[in-house]
Amino acid sequence: MVLNFKVGGEGTSFSPHIFNNHMKSIFFKTEYDADNYGHFGTFGGRYVPEMLMPALEELAAVYDAAKQDPDFLQELMDLYKNYDGRPTPLYFAKNLTKQLGGAKIYLKNEGLNHTGAHKINHCLGQALLAKRMGKKRLIAETGAGQHGLATATVAAKFGFACTVYMGAVDYERQRPNVFFMELLGATVVPVEHGTKRLKDAVTAALQDWISNVDDSYYLLGSALGPHPYPSMVRDFQSIIGLEVKEQIMEQEGRLPDYLVACVGGGSNALGLFNAFLENKEVCMIGVEAGGRDITKIGEHAARLQSAGKIGVVEGYKSYFLQNDDGQVQSTHSISAGLDYAGIGPEHALLFEQGRVAYHAVSDAQVIAALQLLAQTEGVIPALESAHAVAYAIKLAPTLDDEKIMVVNVSGRGDKDIFILGDILGDEKWKNYLKKKSQ
Amino acid sequence: MNKIDAQLKKIKSQNRIGLMTHIVVGYPDLATSKNLLKTMLEVGVDFIELQIPFSDPLADGPTLMVANQLAVQHNTSVRQSMELMAAVSLTTSTPILFMTYFNIVFNYGVARFCQEASQAGCSGLIVPDMPLDEERYEGFIEQAEKFDLYVIRTLAPSSTPKRLRLNAQLAKGFVYFAGRQATTGSQRELDNNLFSNIKKVKQYIDKPVAVGFGISKPEHIYELKNHAEIAVLGSKVVNIYHESASDMAIKNVKIFLQSLVDATH
């Protein structure tokens, strides 16, 4: 692993000011990296119509050049620190740990990023690329709205026009983010095709890009899609794991035993995992959306729990929930961000090689986990992130209290107020909504 | 000899432009798509693209997306598409090609798909999301050629000289040039740069050029003569069917198709 990142720098003393020197790089290789054609083993690739091939070739070339340019990294690190609020804290969840009685649980609180989730990390990186390429407009897809919100935010900051595609189902259930995206100046388009969810928003965004490839940049929001997106999004998210590595050394003097993150497309999970992939003693767990019933197609979004099979959709090869002919099937999750029929290609490789274990938790377990974390630690996670918390709650009590677990709280839960109000049946909230609507 | 070559030869000898039309299998239902296919053969189109529907048709615009979605909702299967191909193709000299997305081919099994398509009388394959760059991983063209299926290279206004050259090396039969940088769909006017773009393609590729995307009326076919060898119409036929009263739909499509065929002479 070529990692330009040294814990403790020159000596053994530890510098907390990691952004004051630029020895650290989010650009490093691991044995799980894609080949030159964007294939992670048999997964990934670039299965798109000819219309997009030249644009993807150009993007890959510009990205490679940017990685070699120290000014690019410096500008990004300055944005991470001064605009985004990085580093985000790694916080020992003492009360939760005590209550569960097992492994020590640390929370990497990505919810404290500007705009409330890890999505801003890859938006800042890609906005700098779009600027470098002289583009005038950003296109994005969004599920929960966090990626759309972060894209609308960087569009406002850097002066891009912005169009965000959102499945009609998600447009309805994540309405606060629609409101804020529009406030930031973005056009938000509900997508009525197909399952009306994240998958269909990705397709709509790719189709927009086909027609506007000269002046528009497609700011993809997860570690999926055609090469180079899976690698590029992972790189921009790798700051999460790099920080955790430094922070856990500072607090515990050793690497963690377990890393736990939720996996929709897989950007926050890869962001946490990437810097640890070659530390084979660190166990990694990706948590999928088990929804209402993991045994029934249409009732969950768990691609790696036996229902999924390999296919080629939206420009990449990976595991998808699909029927025998390859028609992509509908999904369900309480969290819009995990309600996706595919999974990023590097996750498919990590799954196949057994480097990362993938488990699923149900909607009900997610709600219980969210409440427990809120009430023990005063942290309200996004419904997506609460999947990771739910699995951690299952796992921690089975482990020795010497063990250390890091859970990625990829986003905060503000956006889910309407969903939670509904599910928890909060009468005061319902009455308030009634009153406001009159 | 592949039927595509024979047909290209015939069109050339008649000193006219060819016509390729498009059907989504299972839209609006399986029986009607068979009727549409027969109507196209009766009227005398030169090539037919039989689209095996897919849930996520990336290169298709609103009209064909809706058609795909409906066909998928009706559980139109690859098996049924093969059967439709066999029912019609084995008794006509008109080349019929399968158009679909790579996930359909991949799930069926690349070798099995090519073998069964060939046995069903299919002449060629148009799979827009299978660029030549992935051939080393999939062996798709290799399998297709083993069963005498032409893999039609698709090209776009954005194609670079390097990519045109690479595609030229693999082109069989004809190439399919998307006349505008967009998804499929009928348009009132041809793209402003269409003729110069076709000229660019012809600099690199010594094969007949089929032009689609945005072609919607006989006038477009007149305009394309002397620039391209084949005009391709997809969405407009679906629109005409969709907008007609149900007892008039096939008849209206037939009248429209006849006007297109007339325009090729």
Q: Which residues are A308's β-sheet partners?
A: none
pLDDT for res A405? 98
Q: Take residue B240 and report the two structure tokens written for it.
A: 């005409």
SS3 per residue for chain A: CECCCCCCCCCCCCCCCHHHCCCCCCCCECCCCCCCCCEECCEECCCCCHHHHHHHHHHHHHHHHHHHCHHHHHHHHHHHHHHHCCCCCEEECHHHHHHHCCCEEEEEEHHHCCCCECHHHHHHHHHHHHHHCCCCEEEEEECCCHHHHHHHHHHHHHCCEEEEEEEHHHHHHCHHHHHHHHHCCCEEEEECCCCCCHHHHHHHHHHHHHHCCCCEEECCCCCCCCCCHHHHHHHHHCHHHHHHHHHHHHHHCCCCCEEEEECCCCHHHHHHHHHHCCCCCCEEEEEEEEECCCCCCCCCECCCCCCCEEEEECCEEEEECECCCCCECCCCCCCHHHCCCECCHHHHHHHHCCCEEEEEEEHHHHHHHHHHHHHHHCCCECHHHHHHHHHHHHHHHHCCCCCEEEEEECEECHHHHHHHHHHCCCHHHHHHHHHHHC
Say yes or no for a CB contact (<8 Å) between B107 and A210. no
- Tokens 């965000």 appear where? A164
Write down the domain spans for chain B. 3-264
Structural class in CATH, domain A90-115+236-423? alpha beta
pLDDT for the residue numbered A24: 63
Candidates B70, B81, B107, partner chain A, best to mutate (most A CBs within 10 A): B107
The arithmetic mean of pLDDT across residues B174-201, rounded, is 94
Point out the catalytic residue in the list B29, B46, B49, B262: B49
Q: Do residues A122 and A221 make contact, with C-beta atoms less than 8 angstroms apart?
A: yes
For residue A9, is pLDDT > 50? no
Average pLDDT on B66-76 reads 97
Which one from A141, A243, A288, A299 is the annotated catalytic residue?
Answer: A141
**Is A61's Cβ below 8 Å from some Cβ in B?**
no
pLDDT surpasses 60 at B113: yes
> What percent of chain A lies above the pLDDT cut of 90?
92
* DSSP single-letter state for residue B21: E
Tell me the residue length of chain A: 438
- Distance (Å, whole) CA A104 – CA A100: 9
Share of chain A above pLDDT 70, in %: 95
pLDDT at A190: 97
Report yes or no for ipTM above 0.90.
yes
Average pLDDT over residues B132-160: 97
**Residue A431 burial class via C-beta count within 10 angstroms: exposed 0-12, middle 13-18, buried 19 and up:** exposed
Report whether the peptide linkage leading into residue A176 is cis, meaning its omega lies within 30 degrees of zero.
no
**pLDDT higher than threshold 90 for residue A265:** yes
pLDDT tens, A203-255?
Answer: 999 999 999 999 999 999 999 999 999 999 999 999 999 999 999 999 999 99
Look at residue A6 and tell me whether its pLDDT is greater than 60. Answer: no
Residue A194: which of B55, B163, B167 has the nearest Cβ?
B55
The pLDDT of A291-318, averaged and rounded, is 96
Adjacent-strand bridge partners of A92 = A106
Catalytic residue status for B134: no
pLDDT, average across residues A60-85: 97
Question: Rounded to a whole number, what is the distance in Å from the CA of A55 to chain B's nearest CA?
Answer: 8
Q: Hey, where are the domains in chain A? A: 90-115+236-423
Statement: residue B241 has pLDDT above 80 = yes
Is residue A210 within 8 angstroms of chain B, CB to CB?
yes
Going by DSSP bridges, is the β-strand pair A258-262/A309-313 parallel, antiparallel, or unpaired?
Answer: unpaired
| Distance (Å) from the alpha carbon of B258 to chain A's nearest alpha carbon | 31
Q: Between B72, B157, B183, which is nearest A207 by CB? A: B183
What span, in angstroms and rounded, lies between the C-alpha atoms of A273 and A263?
12
Identify the pLDDT of residue A76. 97
How many Cβ pairs closer than 8 A exist between chain A and B? Answer: 114
Question: Which residues of A are less than 8 Å from B137 in CB distance?
Answer: 37, 39, 42, 45
Residue B88: is its pLDDT beyond 90?
Answer: yes
The residues in A 362-391 lying below 8 A from B, measured between CB atoms, are none
Q: Residue B64 pLDDT > 70, yes or no? A: yes
Give the pLDDT confidence of A279-297 residue by residue, as tens digits: 999 999 999 999 999 999 9
- pLDDT band at A18; cut points 50, 70, 90: very low
Quick one: pLDDT at residue A413?
A: 97
The predicted-structure confidence for A110-122, as pLDDT tens digits, reads as follows 999 999 999 999 9
Decide if A49 and B72 are in contact by the 8 Å CB cutoff: no
* Interface with chain A: mutation pick from B129, B132, B183, highest number of A CBs within 10 Å: B129
Taking CB atoms and an 8 Å limit, are B163 and A53 in contact across chains?
A: yes
CA distances from B71 to A84, B74, B96, B107 (A): 46, 5, 19, 18
Element (H, E) at B20: strand B18-24
Mean pLDDT value across residues B216-236: 96
Q: Return the CATH fold of B3-264.
A: TIM Barrel (3.20.20)
Of A108, A119, A135, A415, which residue is the catalytic one? A119
Query: Does pLDDT of A299 surpass 70?
Result: yes
Annotated catalytic residue A75: no
Residues of B with Cβ-Cβ distance to A207 under 8 angstroms: 58, 61, 183
| B50 or A15, greater pLDDT | B50
- What is the identity of the amino acid at A433? L
Q: Shortest CB distance from A194 goes to which of B69, B104, B159?
A: B69
B247 flagged as catalytic: no
Q: In the predicted model, is pLDDT for residue A21 greater than 60? A: no
